[in-house]
Structure 1
Amino acid sequence: MGPLLRGAAWPRSLAGQAIALQVLVIALIVVAGSALAVVDARRDGDAAAEQQVLGIASALADSPSTASAIESGRATEVLQPVTEAVRMHTDIAFITIMAPDRTRFTHTDPDQIGGDYLGTIEPALRGSTFTEVYTGTLGPSIRAVAPVRDSSGNIIGVVSAGILQQSLADRWRAQWPVIAAIGVAALAVSLVGVWAIRRRLFRQTHGLRPDELRVMYEHHDAILHSVSEGLIVLDGSGVALVNDEARRLLALPSGEVDRSDLPEFLRTYNPGARDEIHVTDDRVLVVNRSPVHGSAGTNGDGSEVVTIRDRTELQGALGELNSLKILTDSLRSQAHEAANKLHTIVTMVEMGRAEDAVEFATAELALSQRLVDRLSSTVGEPALVALLLGKTAQAAERGIELTVTEDTRLPANSDDLLLTGQEMVTVLGNLIDNAMEACDRSDPWVEVTVTQDDGDLLIRVADSGDGMDARTFAKAMRRGYSTKSSGDADQHGLGLALVAQVVNRHHGRLTTDVTYGSVVTVTVPGP
């Protein structure tokens, strides 16, 4: 078969090729089964005929009347009617009773009586009953031969009964239509089933050819391993697919992944989610979820595709940028305030009140300088000093009294700190921001304490607000929480979650209570 003919006659889709092969196999099985049924019917017919003639010959040979008729010399007269009656009743070809010298006493054709029997009788003369296929006067036949004994056990005759093979052939040929009808019915039922399978297979493979499916799989596999985003496919039975990046971002085990191995936010069916931010123990992740069209059920057990982006480093950079922005804004505000004070001092000098101008200029400067000097001497981390100074200026602008307690003290060598400078900025910066947002507007104050004594690091931020209950606080640590409006919550709702991430990374504790105010405490144990 040439390529052109083969391409034109052979189906191209996977469903078509699979069904064509099934049709060929089914047709071959039905034809072979029918042929075997015919052969088996013929073999069974021959075996049944052999047993039939063997039983008839043995029954007549063992009958006492047969031996008596032979011994009386009236064998033909007595036995011919009997054998013909038995032959007509059993529908066999012939029953021949003969003398040991082959002389026939009975025969289907009366003209053959008295003639010699054609066939084998020697085993019967030796006392054995046997069957054979032999061509006699009526044609090829299956015959049985049995000896006739007198009362003394001597062989005085032989009985032969046979069925023509032509009759047997007519019998099993009569079964052909039934076998053919059964074969055609089986083929028809099989083709209906194959057609139903073809429809289902065609729908599931979208009519694609095997080579197209192979290329699709290769591309699919290559994309899964090359994309820089985490990719997870969820279906009703669990996790259908996880790529390498998703395993890395979610710290999933190798091999098969169960739904229980996923973080809590991925264990429920939630298609349509866009740019959701979730915080794990060590990462900030952006999650998008999309349903697989046509697979979602009404009970929410359909398939969905989940993509995951890592935002950990970006979130840290945003935190640092926010701190720098706060410091910049504070410096700008202070520069503006300094300009106003400078104009005041110049005016007082022009008015001849130089001593009052000096006192005015140095009073607030001394207060600010004392704070700078105290923090510089007690806090060895420059980033934390800058953060506290910037937050103090920011609080002053907003009319909030921010106090850094006298207990604040950290090792002079920043290498001895239990948290890095960036982690300190993340933890303390977010706690102060949350405190300034939550404090009571009628009496706004925030108090900050940072100490590292006896090997443990303690960070305590208190404010004049009402605080959060245990359930709300737990939610804030897990998913992010904000008292702001929904528009700002997306930007500021990760504060406590990021703090909890740093604390968990160092096996610390994050607690809250309401005593002299709303107090949030971070404790990081030393090595």
Structure 2
Amino acid sequence: MSPAPPARRLRLGLPRRVFSQVLMMQLAIAAGVVVLATGLFLAPLSHQLDDQAMRRALAIAQTTAAQPRIAQDVTTTPPTAEGPVQQEAERIRLATGAEYIVVMDRRGIRWSHTEPKQIGRKVSTDPSRALAGEEVMEIDSGTLGRSARGKVPLRDGRGDIVGAVSVGIAYDSVRARLIHAIPGLLAYEGGALAVGALAAWFIARRVQRQTRDLAFSDISGLLAEREAMLHGIREGVVALDRTGRVRLLNDEAQRLLGLGDEAVGRSPDEALGEGRTADVLAGRVAGTDLLTVRGRRVLVANRMPTDDGGAVATLRDRTELEQLGRELDSTRGLIDALRAQDHEHANRMHTVLGLLELEMYDDAVEFVGEVVGDHRATSEQVTEKIQDPLLAALLVGKATVAAERGVALWISDRTRLPDRLVDPQGLVTVAGNLVDNALDAVAGSPHARVEVELRAEGRTAVLRVRDTGPGIPVEQRELVFTEGWSTKEPPAHRKRGIGLSLVRRLAERQGGSATVGEAAGGGAEFTVVLPEALAGPDLEPALTMPSAPQSATEEES
């Protein structure tokens, strides 16, 4: 019986989804702003209403004190409920809506009041400042409760102070105005909160789409994993934004390109200078496994566009497997040369044996000398013109193969190639395939000849292979570089048609070209141009691995 799964514990706190977290935070911010705005609005509003009430009370008091009959009646009539002062004060109070209007003499005795029984009594608050000639505004408590008050001195016709006028406006009316303003304020706040909530929802949805609904903890984990991966892999990674500027370089890319963090934010042309490497990174050269040279290094670059309009380029150093590649190429060349020399060597040995048995010793010595001399002459001629040991060994071996097939393999007098090749294996593959095709084309024809020309033009290597074969018709000169195309008849066709395709692919990877035309005197002339195939005179040639994995089938034309 399987154990029951453990019960899930409820998660407390913020939800994991980015959408929910962002929405809650936005709503909290909007609500906080609304509450803060309400407080900031209500605090000065209360003070403004108080000030307005006090100024209104003061204005009513000034208007009342300006009545000349009131000052005269205060000095000539007694304080009674039916007196002229009480009647005039009540008229003004009713007309202005004040809570009370109190007229007093210099002793502080009331001559008017909303409650007639208070007339003739002393006022409950201190009138000294008004009786001293000051105009007073204040919030104070009296017999009628808390009110906003205005007090002014009462002067007679000569300007002498004969009393004072105190006007009050009920403080409850001020509070009522404040409370009356709150519903409207809350309506505005509710509208602002609703707009904020809607904006927060749209922002949260946008963030959700851009983050693919990942939790913040997941995004943080992915970022940490990305940093570890980028700086841990042994391939250079260069990320470019939609404007073509570098936004990320991992450690390996900095090492391969010889750049630092200062390259971030700059275009490839600004960071690297003009050249094929910058063209590949910028996307001006399309293709996969593009070869480019940076200093002494030969790099293989691949560029992939991203959804945001940018791109990511990866760089691999081809020098890392050079030692194994050199050993493999040397072994292949040696095996081909030995296989080609096997029959010829056996025939020569049989000839020497026959001469010795016939006791033609002088002829035997002469024959051996001719054979050895021809071999030395061929090797010395090749190595004198081609200083790269791999290419020289290839052509020496091909010369032996050609001789066995009855073909003369010539090295052009214009051939001059220094030992500064950046990618010698690539050129070995190209030259080997072209020579093999030429030997196949002229095999069996009279006076068969294949001529190889290799020369350096600055840092560019130019290879030409001419033959005396039937040539290639104009309409088929592009088809010959198509994989699977061949002039051979079945059943050999299924193993043919790869060599020339491989030649063009290798040339284009290095930014060069492969073309075919008509040789002088008939036949075909293949021309391969490889820019930046040679290192500068002050640099050592880079160590590189073979240009492409080659099987026996790929080496056939």
Per the normalisation by structure 1, the TM-score is 0.72
**Cα pair 1:326 1:390 within 8 Å, conserved:** yes
The SS at the match of 1:146 is strand
Per-residue CA deviation, residues 105-145 of structure 1 (Å, 9 max, x unaligned), is 33334454444333221111111111333333332212111
Work out the CA distance in 1 between the residues paired with 2:117 and 2:39. 42
Identify the residue that residue 164 of structure 2 maps to in structure 1.
158
**Aligned pair 1:331/2:344, yes or no?**
no
Distance 1:332 1:30, change over 3 A: same
Per-residue CA deviation, residues 174-203 of structure 1 (Å, 9 max, x unaligned), is 222122222222222222222222222233
**Aligned pair 1:504/2:552, yes or no?**
no
Identify the residue that residue 185 of structure 2 maps to in structure 1.
179
1:241 is displaced (CA, Å) by: 2.0
Per-residue CA deviation, residues 30-75 of structure 1 (Å, 9 max, x unaligned), is 3343344344332221111011111221233244454344455499
Work out the CA distance in 1 between the residues paired with 2:124 and 2:288. 100
Per-residue CA deviation, residues 217-252 of structure 1 (Å, 9 max, x unaligned), is 222211111111112223314323221011111222
The SS at the match of 2:11 is helix
**Aligned pair 1:290/2:294, yes or no?**
no
User: What amino acid does structure 2 have at the position aligned with 1:332?
Assistant: R
**Aligned pair 1:311/2:318, yes or no?**
yes
Work out the CA distance in 2 between the residues paired with 1:313 and 1:96. 107
Query: What aligned pairs does 1:170-319 form with structure 2 within 5 A after superposition?
Result: 170-237=176-243, 238-255=245-262, 256-260=264-268, 261=271, 263-268=278-283, 274-292=288-306, 295-296=307-308, 302-314=309-321, 318=325
**Aligned pair 1:399/2:403, yes or no?**
no
In angstroms, what is the RMSD of aligned CA positions? 4.6
Sequence identity, in percent?
30
Structure 1 regions of 5+ residues with no counterpart? 297-301, 411-417, 451-455, 466-482, 509-527
Work out the CA distance in 2 between the residues paired with 1:341 and 1:13. 85
Identify the residue that residue 10 of structure 1 maps to in structure 2.
14
Q: Which has the higher helix share?
A: 1
**Aligned pair 1:489/2:504, yes or no?**
yes
Identify the residue that residue 367 of structure 1 maps to in structure 2.
374
Distance 1:14 1:378, change over 3 A: closer
**Cα pair 2:283 2:303 within 8 Å, conserved:** no
Task: Choose 7-16 or 95-104, whichever is displaced more.
Answer: 7-16
1:13 is displaced (CA, Å) by: 3.1
Greater relative CO (CA pairs within 8 A, separation 6+): 2
**Aligned pair 1:67/2:63, yes or no?**
no
Identify the residue that residue 474 of structure 1 maps to in structure 2.
none
Work out the CA distance in 2 between the residues paired with 1:425 and 1:184. 77
Query: What aligned pairs does 1:447-466 form with structure 2 within 5 A after superposition?
Result: none
User: What amino acid does structure 2 have at the position aligned with 1:402?
Assistant: W
User: What amino acid does structure 2 have at the position aligned with 1:268?
Assistant: G
User: What amino acid does structure 1 have at the position aligned with 2:181?
Assistant: Q
Query: What aligned pairs does 1:75-154 form with structure 2 within 5 A after superposition?
Result: 78-154=84-160
User: What amino acid does structure 2 have at the position aligned with 1:184?
Assistant: G
1:83 is displaced (CA, Å) by: 3.4
Per the normalisation by structure 2, the TM-score is 0.68
**Cα pair 2:390 2:428 within 8 Å, conserved:** no
Distance 1:128 1:47, change over 3 A: same
Structure 2 regions of 5+ residues with no counterpart? 1-7, 273-277, 443-447, 468-497, 513-527, 541-557
The SS at the match of 2:239 is strand
The SS at the match of 1:108 is coil
User: What amino acid does structure 2 have at the position aligned with 1:44?
Assistant: Q
User: What amino acid does structure 2 have at the position aligned with 1:287?
Assistant: A
Identify the residue that residue 515 of structure 1 maps to in structure 2.
none
Match among 416, 427, 445 for residue 451 of structure 2: 445
Per-residue CA deviation, residues 261-293 of structure 1 (Å, 9 max, x unaligned), is 25221112889x54333333422222233344x
The SS at the match of 1:51 is helix
How many residues align? The count is 467
Distance 1:373 1:54, change over 3 A: closer
User: What amino acid does structure 2 have at the position aligned with 1:267?
Assistant: A
